[in-house]
Amino acid sequence: MRPLLGSGLKGKNKMKKEEPLFEKNARKTLKDTIKVFEQRGGSYGDSYKIDQHLALKAILKKFNVEVDDRILNAIQAAVLVDTKYSRLVGGYKEDSIVDMLAYGAFLVEEMKTIEKEESK
Mean pLDDT, residues 91-101 taken together: 96
Read off the pLDDT band of 16 (50, 70, 90): confident
Mean pLDDT for the chain? 88
What is the rounded distance in angstroms from the CA atom of residue 94 to the CA atom of residue 71?
A: 28
DSSP-derived letter for residue 6 is S
Mean pLDDT, residues 110-118 taken together: 96
CB 102 within 8 A of CB 33: yes
Region of 19 (left: φ > 0; alpha: ψ -120 to 50; beta: rest) is: beta
> Domain residue spans in the chain?
20-118
What is the rounded distance in angstroms from the CA atom of residue 106 to the CA atom of residue 103?
A: 5
Q: Please tell me the predicted confidence (pLDDT) of residue 86.
A: 97
What is the rounded distance in angstroms from the CA atom of residue 42 to the CA atom of residue 3?
A: 61
